[in-house]
Structures are given as structure tokens and as C-alpha cells.
Amino acid sequence: MGSSNMEKLRFCIDRGGTFTDVYAEIPGQSDGRVMKLLSVDPSNYDDAPIEGIRRILEEYTGEKIPRSSKIPTDKIEWIRMGTTVATNALLERKGERIALCVTRGFKDLLQIGNQARPHIFDLAVTKPSNLYEEVIEVDERIELVLSKEKDSESSVSIVKGVSGELIRIVKPLNEEALRPLLKGLLERGISCLAVVLLHSYTYPQHEISLEKLALSMGFRHVSLSSALTPMVRAVPRGLTASVDAYLTPVIKEYLSGFISKFDEGLEKVNVLFMQSDGGLAPESRFSGHKAVLSGPAGGVVGYSQTLFGIEAEKPIIGFDMGGTSTDVSRYAGSYEQVLETQIAGAIIQAPQLEINTVAAGGGSKLKFQFGAFKVGPESVGAHPGPVCYRKGGELAVTDANLMLGFVIPDYFPSIFGPSEDQPLDIDATRKEFKKLAMQINSYRRSQDPSAKDMTVEEIALGFVNVANETMCRPIRQLTEMKGHETRNHVLGCFGGAGPQHACAIARALGMKEVLIHRLCGILSAYGMGLADVVEEMQEPYSAVYCQESILEASVREANLLEQVRQKLQEQGFQEENIGTETYLNLRYEGTDTAIMVKGQKKGEFEYADEFIKLFQREYGFKLKNRKILICDVRVRGVGVTNILKPRALQHAAGTPKIEGHHRVYFENGWQETPLFKLENLGYGHAIPGPAIIMNGNSTVIVEPNCNALITKYGNIKIEIESSLSTVKVSDKVADVVQLSIFNHRFMGIAEQMGRTLQRTSISTNIKERLDFSCALFDPNGGLVANAPHVPVHLGAMSSTVCWQLKHWGETLQEGDVLVSNHPCAGGSHLPDITVITPVFDNGKLVFFVASRGHHAEIGGITPGSMPPFSKAIWEEGAAIKAFKLVEKGVFQEKGIINLLQNPCSDDAAHSIPGTRRLQDNLSDLHAQIAANQRGISLIKELIEQYGLETVQAYMIYVQLNAEEAVREMLKSVAAKVSPRSTETEEQSEVNIEEEDYMDDGSVIRLKLSIDPHRGEAMFDFSGTSPEVYGNWNAPEAVTAAAVIYCLRCMVDVDIPLNQGCLAPVKIHIPRGSFLSPSDKAAVVGGNVLTSQRVTDVVLTAFRACACSQGCMNNLTFGDDTFGYYETIGGGSGAGPKWDGTSGVQCHMTNTRITDPEIFEQRYPVVLHKFGLRENSGGAGLHRGGDGIVREIEFRRPVVVSILSERRVHAPRGLNGGIDGARGANFLITKDKRRVYLGGKNTIHVQAGETVQIFTPGGGGWGSPL
């Protein structure tokens, strides 16, 4: 390996979704041969990579190679290829027919996943379809041995697992019971299996035995979760096995077909394929779960190995803009990898390059909705493609670039039209833009009669600007969430469309430099020739980090290193060409945040030092006095190939040659712009903007006030001169383009605040369950943008900000930070603490930022601060109405400690415990302050860029935009439910009454009145039951959050979440009802139970969908040494066009559930069953989703509490649909009695006793057929 034969050709190929790129090094030629082909062109050829090799060989040899004959290999040294075959099969669900084998009791485990729904505002909850057709439940069971059991049991029944954990084989694999089930699969034509058995990461023997049995019976392929990804967590491991079983046969079939097109000499040719981790693998080791990022990985290798350290010393942001999406990555001297990612709805757990994909590319659709420009996320695809592709498509970003002269038809392949020989159709594009211009200008005149019409060019440029901002958001997130400043990077731009947008995006991000590789249009293909061959191995190792465990880890490392070296040597690598890396996967005890730490130098504790350093950089703090735990040992062997090398150019003489001039439309209008060809430019040539540089098929736009320079290696470096963006503020209406851009900027700021909070917080609730929200507000407390993870926080913080503004009034000063959690001050329940920072400019209050997070402990009568039987607010913990957490820049530590440790009680005889986790509270409050500070600095950057007047104006305009969207929605709803008898009859006010009951009989009544002309609604809750003697009273902010959530779901357009959503809405809640209780009422259950019932009532009134499970099924258990809390999903309600979804979090929550293996590893429990509750969804034309069955056996005495609803009143069906099944909670005692627990209870369970929870199903829609 590593030797070269300059008499033979070398091929690098990237088979993409739309185009296949080929780069070939040809003997005797200094420049490689570049070819671009359509990936799918059945009328001309069967396979694009084969066609590219065939054509280039014909050119080189001068000999005709018929398509029907095999390709000669005597002139080929090597072939390296990345392919989207796996990705496309996953996206289109065209993989192999497979079945899943899983431990009995868990047949629905992968379908339920972590319970979270992908899009919180989609009433039709869409989860990715299962890759497997059938499930076989395997009779076998492994249990982990608790530390207290080690001495009490005989060693005969206990075995040491691979990870070092002790396990008990409770039920050996029953092969005889399995054999007929497997035979049945073969008879039904299924011959591929994915296998995931609980705890197989540490005890893989059962999976291995199953594989042997299946292969002996005639199965073609078996993917074992324990072999593919031997890490704890059954769900991602099982999903990875499913992906591998689904894709590997497809890949093998494609590769077999590819290889069969060559003559018998191919075995002497080195053929390698790019994997998702940036390494190459031979055909025999190229498998499905490592292939899905094959193409994008080539691009990352390409820019990292040719630009970093050669053309740039700063870290590089890779920006790969293609037809349907844009890939964003980062390189700062080493590949940034992740161990888990989600692609096409499938979770894959395997080392892969960290590549973030945003649904914005050349094919992103252009729309004008509710007075604002929208780009994507929908794509026009390759077929029919943009309008200019001559296939009857819709307007897309490519059309906008064509209109502006950013794309020049003369330099674009003429591959369009019926005969595939015509150029891009600019006339059709202009015609469609004129139609859109009429719609846009009509709207603008309706808002402002004096508004000047926008030209088609202004509209096209507006869409490009919005697209650019869409792509800036993931770049900011990728850098900021890791603690890096975006502006301190270079933008490394490649892909077909990227160089057209590079200058604008770099300027928007504050970057000073853009690098565009000379092969930017085919850099993913070129990267294949720069990559190394990689072999990885990993095994679980569960231990506390100490001298003894490090010695054991080093023994394991040495064993794994020997194996990867052997694999590389078998592929022809000499020892001197093999490099190795070792890693330990480490985490702090009590957290889920593991970091894969690379071994740096020899020494006992280098891993721990590096882990602490990495943890602090990424999360902003250290965890003192916490044990570090080892989770996994991983090694990586690299076979260095040293094949393609960048070639330095001679310094160019003379001035750059201008090939011609073209009209290009920039911010200042049309400009005659010189065009250069990169092939005619040399090292040292400087080109001032505006200019066009044609780089093969890629168009590089050098904007005005930018300067391009050709580097020593023939790449293009563009220096960006930052210019202050100015937006003229109209007294009357918003600019339709800037409205979209500010929507993105405001939401981006709220999202980055959230990432800062998640990064710097310490508690599991915020960091891992994502139970928090961040937002920014105008100076009157109106919500401008809210980045939610939990819908119950929506809009509710505005009430808190307004209450504080009214309370503190003129006494607010610069440097103050406020804290509050009291329900009467706009809070939801006491664990949700809100931190608010007012921001001043020259002494004037200009805006607020706020963050709300769920603190796991704030005192009260039970640990965890969520008591099932609280009757008054003071029993639930520290209640803070108003306090300056920071006053004039000084943190008021003494005051906040006093408030948290000494909750007020109305009953002098009862002393209520204060917080039990004070340091965690203080750490999370500091994190919330930091998140607010991040928001302030980002808004100040925005003010610096646009001016305070403009930013404040658009804070109002985005609210007006959301208001308009909600008004239109209310008008359309009124039209649907209006009782008009004829079309000509005047539409009158629509009145709808709806009610539903809590399980104690208290009623929620709603009278909904909609004005069809003005698009306004009144939500009147008069008649709702009074405050209850219990804890499911809900503060007014919770009802407001439920209403805003429902409205946002029904708008069905991605509008910003802000105060404008509630502007056309009035909410009347009678004082003293349990939706507006006194400030003494207990409320902890209102947030998690009553919020769901309010949502059901509102959505039923609108006839939007049937009732969902209507509960969060809150389960807590623990003792004096630990506590655990989870919410359990159920069935979602069916709608007029969709079935409900089973086993999912509904409406007002979207928190994740703990993986079964982690659950059993960390807590004294055995999970016997976690699956769907079959037929619990209501029947109907569209069925409701099924609930969940969760069966937990406790292995030592603990206190268990359940706080649940819908155990008496079933989730109702709609329009004739049948009700969903009610939930139920049971205790199975040691003497096998089954005891009903009701909806709310606290019990002391003994070791060996089991709790069963049956969550409600969703209601059906329409009469069953």
C-alpha cells in the first residue's frame, strides 16, 4: 500500500443523489480528468460510476469499449468510491425485507424508541416507518447483578460479562422454541435478520447462538447489535442493527453488480469504499450502518486535507451546498466525530463524522406566505426540479440564482429538455417570478397603498438572502454549542451551489475569509483519494476510573489494537504505514453525558485530565468530587495511503485574463461583471469584486467589496470586507424579505440561548431531558421568539416578564437579573424557575431575555418537589414571586440561598424542608444567567449590525406577522364549522361549546366564539369547576400555553412563536376556578395533567383531532439514597386525515424516556415489559394510537408514586370515532395479588413486587367502517 504506478489510472468517484462526480489521475497529465454524469440515466447507461470509468478509459487508450463488454482493468491502479446507494435506500425505504429478533416483552421497543415525537406541532404525529416487517420475541433473559447481591448468591448462577459487569442468566436461549418461528419467516420470503437482545453488549452469547442457528437454517444475512455496536443502550443498538440488516444486502448487491462489470483482473486492482467515519474499507468490510454518510464524508476529508494548515491556520467550517440539502461540518486539526446520529429517521450508533444537514439547497422551494418569504424545507428534488430544468417544476433557489446572473446558462451543462440537450430555461423562470411578483406586490399594496412594486430581481435576491440566513443558523449552532466563536473560522466552500452563496454567508457570520477549492464541484470525489483505510474495534467496559481500571483498560486496548493491526496487514499495509489511536468513553457519575476521549500521552491519568478539560470546554464547568466512570474502550487503526498530493503552481505573470462580461444583480442593482476562468488564472492573481470565476461547472460569485486571490495550490481565497447592514424602517409595514430574515435571527438567538443553557447546566432535567425554554421579549414584555423543547412553557414566560415589569417598574437598573417561580407571578409550577434579564441602552429599557428550567429539587414535602398529595403551594417547595438574583451586577447568593432553604409555610406547626440539592440549584441558576447573557450579546450584535430602531421595529413586525397567520387560520376554521345554509348567506359569529372532566369530576368548560370577518376568537372558560383540594390546579399561564400551542398546531405553517399568536385571542378564566386558583393552591399536577385536558378541550372544540391520552403518566420512585422520575407516553388522537400514533409523548410534553438497559443498570429494577397496549386506541375511520404497557419489578424496598389522569374518563373520539381505552395502574404483590392503585397514589413496595402501568389510548376519528 502507498506505492504508486504512474502508468495506470486512478479513479475517485462520488455517486451522489443527482450527479455522479468522477476524478481520474491520468499518467503524464498534471491535471486530473473531471467528469460529471447524471446518477440515474437509464436510457443511456445502467450505472454512472461504470460509465465514467468506461468513457475516461476510452479517452486515454483511444480504444472503443462497448457498454455490453466488461471493462479492462490492466490500465487501472485503484478505484475509490463513495455512494449514496445506502442513503437512498433508507430515504426511499427500498431496503431488504427483514425481521427483528428481540427479547420477549420488548417487541415494540424500537417503534416506541425514546417516546419523543419529531415535530412538536404536528397533530398528525409522524414517526419514521419501521425498517422490519415482522418481530420475533425471543425466550431469553439476562439480568445485571446488583452490588448487594454479589455476596449473597452462589457463584454458579453469576457470570462476568465483557464489560466487567456481573450478570445472571435468568432464562437461557430456547433454540427449539425459536426454530419454527425462524422457519416461518423463511417461508414468507424473509431471509435477513436484525437481532437485539437485552444486555447483549456485555453478554453477546445469546445473539451469537441465534446467528448460528439462523445461518444454518438458510438465512442470508444476520446483523447482531452486539457485534456492530457493543455499547449499553438497547434502542440505538437495535436501530443500528435494523439499519445494517436493511441496507447491507442492498449494498452488497450493488457492489457485486459494480465489480461484475470488470474483467477478471479486478482482484489486482485496489477497490475501496468511503465509510461515514471518513475512512476507507474494502468491499468485504463495507456494511450498511457505516455507509449512509459515504458521500458527504468524502467532502470533509477533501477540504480538511487540502485546505487546513496549507491554505488556512484557522479552523474551517465546511459548507457543502447541494441540490436538496446543505452539509455543514468543522475541522480544526482532527476529524470531529459523533457516535450517534439520526439519518432519514433512523438512529445509527457508530463512529461517523459530525456532519449537520439542513434542508436548504439549490432545490429548496420558494414561497410567499402570510406576508413573508419562505425558503424550504420542502425541495423540488431532481425530478421535476426547479422551473429552469424544463420539467414543469416549481420555483427554487436555483431559479433565483439564475434570475440574478449567479448561474450562467452558457457555462451550465445543456442536459435538459426531452432530448437532454437544451440549456437552462431562463424565460420560464422569469415568467414564474413575474406571477409571484404580482402576488407579492398585491399583498404589499394591501398593507401600504404607497408601497413601490418590487421587481422580479429584487424578489429573487430577497429569496437568496432568506436562503442564506436559513443556512447560517446551523453553522452558528455547530460552532457556538461547542464553545467556539463562529467569526474565528474560515468558510471552506464546495458543492455545486455553495460558491454562489459563499461571500454573503461569510459576511453574515462575521467571517473574514472564504476558501474555495479548485475542485469544489467534485471535492467529495477528490476526497476519496485523500482518505486512509480505517479499521475500528470497540468493547464495553464498565468501571470507576482508577489506577486498577486503567490497567485493565490498557490490557483491553492492547488486545483490540492487535486485532485492527492484523486486519490492516491482511489488506497489504506494512507496519510503518499503520497508525493507531486509542479512546476511552468517559462520563461523570450521575450524568448521561459521555465523551469519547482520545489517548494523548503515556501516563496513568492522562485520560481523566483530558476528559475534565474537554468537559469544561464543552459545558462550561467542572463537577467536583464526582467519580469518573469508564463506559467503553475503543481503538482505531489507520492504514496511511499517501496517494493524492496537492501540486504547487508557479507564480503567474501578467494580469488575469477576462473572458467576457455578464450582467449580475447585486444589492445595488445590475452590474456589468467580468468573468474569469480558473483554468486561465495562476498563483498570485488578484481579482477585485464584483467578479465571476468559472471553476468547471461551479460558479464562484465574488461580491462587491470582496477580493479574490489565487493561491499557491490553485484554490480561490476570498477576503471579505464586512459592511454594516442597513434596513430602512417603514412607519407602516415590514419589508417582506427582512421580516423572514429577522424571524430567523430572533429564533436563532433563542435557540443559541437554549444551547448555552443545556451546555452549562448541571441537572439531568435540563441537560438531558431538555425540560427548559429560552425566549426574548420586547420592552413591554411581549414575546418575540421562543425556542421550546416542552410546549407547556409556550407563551407562558410572557406573563412572568409582564408581572415582573409591573412589580419592579422604574426600579429596574442595568446589571439586574430577576428570578421567579410563583404561579401567581406567571409561573407554571414551582420546579420551573424563570430567570429574567432586562437590557438597557443608554439608560433606556430596550428588551428582555429569559430562560425557564425545571429544577429537580426545590424543597417541599417529598424529594423531587413533585408530591402526589400536596394540598397547598407551600408543601411543594420554595415559592419566589420576585427577587433580584443579581443586583447592579452582584450575585445575591445569600438571599437566594435563604429563599431556597426556607420555604414559607402558612402552617407554623409544620416546617417545610428546603431544597435538598442547593449546589445544583445554584449551578443551574448560574447557567440560566449565562444563557441570558448569551442572548443579550447576540441581540447587541444584531443592534450593531442593523441599529436599535430597526431591531425594535422588527420585534413588533414579527409579532404582527404571527398575528396575521393566526387570524387567517381562525377565518378558515370559522368557514369550516360555520352553520351557513347557503354560500351567499352572510357568515355570522361561530359559537362552539365544549367540556371535559378530570378524574375527580371537576369540569373544564369552554365557550369558543370566532369572528369570521376579523379572524378573532374568545376562549371563555366560565363554568369551570372551582379550585380543587389537590394539586391539579393550573395557573393561568398554563392555560395560555395550551391555547397558544393549539393555535400554532392548527396554523400548520412554520410561523414564529410569539405574542402575536395571542393578539387575535382573548382568554377569560374565572377567578377562583381550578384554572385560576388562589396563590395558596397546590399546582404541581396542573402543569403535567390539567394542561393536557385543556389542550384536548380546545382541539376538540376546533374539531382538529380526537383526544389524545390526556396525561403525562408521571412515575417517581426512590428512597433516601436516590430518586427517579419519568413521564410515560400513550396514544395520540386520530384526525380527519390520519390515524393516531402509538406509544408517543402527546401535546404538552415531549421529554425522553430512559433506555431499558440504562434503567436496569442504574436503578434497582427489572423491566419485564415495555410495549404497546394493543387495541387501546379508539376505533374509527381513522384509529387512535395505542397506549403503552410498562411493567417494572423492584429489586429492593422503595417508595413509588404515580400521578396520572384518564383513569376514569376515557379520551374521547370525534365525529363518530370510538373513545380510547382508559389508563390503569396496578401493583402485583409478592403473593401474586393484583391490586388496583387508582390514578394518584403513593405506595411502599417490597423487593420482588411489580408495578404495571397501562397508559390511555387516543380517541378515534369518524365512524368505524
Asked whether residue 1120 carries a pLDDT value surpassing 80, the answer given is no
**Which residues are registered as beta bridge partners of 142?**
169
The predicted pLDDT at position 150 comes to 54
Nearest to 256 by CA among 283, 274, 281, 279: 283
Asked whether residue 560 carries a pLDDT value surpassing 80, the answer given is yes
2, 640 contact by CB (below 8 A): yes
3-state secondary structure 790-802: CHHHCCHHHHHHH
407, 401 contact by CB (below 8 A): yes
Asked whether residue 358 carries a pLDDT value surpassing 80, the answer given is no
The predicted pLDDT at position 602 comes to 55
The predicted pLDDT at position 377 comes to 79
1121 exposed, middle or buried (CB, 10 Å; 0-12, 13-18, 19+)?
exposed
pLDDT per residue as tens digits for the range 1141-1198: 999 999 998 888 889 999 999 899 999 999 999 999 999 999 999 999 999 999 999 9
CA distances from 353 to 253, 339, 344 (A): 26, 9, 16
Asked whether residue 347 carries a pLDDT value surpassing 90, the answer given is no
CA distances from 1117 to 71, 859, 867, 971 (A): 67, 17, 11, 48
β-strand pairing of 280-282 with 270-274: antiparallel
Nearest to 459 by CA among 436, 442, 425: 436
The predicted pLDDT at position 659 comes to 93
The predicted pLDDT at position 3 comes to 43
Rounded mean pLDDT, 1089-1099? 96
What secondary structure does DSSP assign to 384-448, as a single string?
Answer: T-BGGGSSS-B-BHHHHHHHHTSS-GGGS---BTTTT-B---HHHHHHHHHHHHHHHHHHHHHH-
pLDDT-based confidence at 751, cuts 50/70/90? confident
**pTM of this structure:** 0.86
CA separation for the pair 904, 883 (Å, rounded): 15
Asked whether residue 981 carries a pLDDT value surpassing 50, the answer given is no
pLDDT-based confidence at 1068, cuts 50/70/90? very high
Asked whether residue 723 carries a pLDDT value surpassing 80, the answer given is no
- Average pLDDT value for the chain: 88
- 3-class state of residue 108 by DSSP: coil
589, 628 contact by CB (below 8 A): yes
Locate 255 and state its grid cell: 457492489
Asked whether residue 109 carries a pLDDT value surpassing 90, the answer given is yes
The predicted pLDDT at position 836 comes to 96
Nearest to 1133 by CA among 1120, 1123, 1147, 1121: 1147
**Which residues are registered as beta bridge partners of 543?**
630
- 3-class state of residue 980 by DSSP: coil
Locate 1007 and state its grid cell: 365557550
pLDDT-based confidence at 727, cuts 50/70/90? low
Nearest to 1257 by CA among 1223, 1226, 1215: 1223
pLDDT per residue as tens digits for the range 802-827: 999 999 988 999 999 999 999 989 88
Locate 578 and state its grid cell: 499503520
The predicted pLDDT at position 788 comes to 67
CA separation for the pair 1183, 1132 (Å, rounded): 10
CA separation for the pair 384, 688 (Å, rounded): 38
- What's the residue count for the chain? 1265
What secondary structure does DSSP assign to 840-901, as a single string?
Answer: EETTEEEEEEEEEEE-S---SSSTTS--TT--BGGGGS---S-EEEEETTEE-HHHHHHHHH
pLDDT per residue as tens digits for the range 182-194: 999 999 999 999 9
Sign of CA dihedral 183, 184, 188, 194: negative
One-letter amino acid at 1248 equals: G
pLDDT per residue as tens digits for the range 1225-1257: 999 999 999 999 999 998 999 999 999 999 999
- 3-class state of residue 65 by DSSP: coil
C-alpha 1206, offset from chain centre: 31
- 3-class state of residue 612 by DSSP: helix
Q: In what order do the strands lie in the sheet with 628-639?
A: 33-38, 19-25, 9-15, 76-83, 270-274, 280-282, 533-544, 628-639, 578-588, 595-598
Rounded mean pLDDT, 521-543? 88
**Beta-carbon neighbour count of residue 589 at 10 Å?**
12
C-alpha 694, offset from chain centre: 36
pLDDT-based confidence at 405, cuts 50/70/90? very high
Residue spans of beta strands (DSSP E) within 917-1037 = 990-997, 1003-1011, 1016-1020
**Which residues are registered as beta bridge partners of 335?**
331
Rounded mean pLDDT, 835-851? 92
The predicted pLDDT at position 909 comes to 52
Nearest to 827 by CA among 773, 770, 868, 785: 773
Rounded mean pLDDT, 118-138? 91
Q: CA angle, 658 as apex, 653 and 661 as ends, to 5°?
A: 165
Locate 1024 and state its grid cell: 369551570
3-state secondary structure 150-219: CCCCCHHHEEECCCCCEEEEEECCCHHHHHHHHHHHHHCCCCEEEEECCCCCCCCHHHHHHHHHHHHHCC
